């Protein structure tokens, strides 16, 4: 890992691209980025859960285990 003095990079433990560094300089930008990352993660988790439920239902219907 490269050494850095950027506090936000130290928190995330990775070197960020320049456009992200600019946004992370301010508290408002940091909060916005963290919020959006969290929303994206929640959306992906919900999609995976729904897909798993659908696939399980299709398997159950195909095997006639629902009767």
pLDDT tens, residue by residue, 42-57: 999 999 999 999 998 8
In a domain, 67, yes or no: no
The answer to whether residues 9 and 15 touch, using CB atoms and an 8 Å cutoff, is yes
Count of domains in the chain? 1
- Look up residue 41 and give its two tokens: 């993660």
Q: Structure pTM? A: 0.50
In a domain, 39, yes or no: yes
Q: Domain range for residue 48?
A: 7-62
> What average pLDDT score do residues 8-15 get?
65
In a domain, 11, yes or no: yes
In a domain, 2, yes or no: no
Which residue did the predictor score with more confidence, 46 or 19?
46
Virtual torsion, Cα 7, 11, 42, 26, nearest 10 deg: -10
In a domain, 31, yes or no: yes
In a domain, 1, yes or no: no
């Amino acid at each position: 890992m490269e050494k850095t003095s950027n506090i936000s990079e130290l928190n995330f433990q990775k070197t960020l691209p320049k456009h992200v560094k600019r946004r992370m300089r301010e508290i408002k930008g940091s909060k916005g980025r963290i919020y959006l990352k969290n929303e994206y993660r929640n959306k992906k988790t919900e999609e995976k859960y729904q897909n798993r439920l659908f696939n399980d239902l299709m398997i159950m219907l195909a095997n006639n285990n629902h009767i």
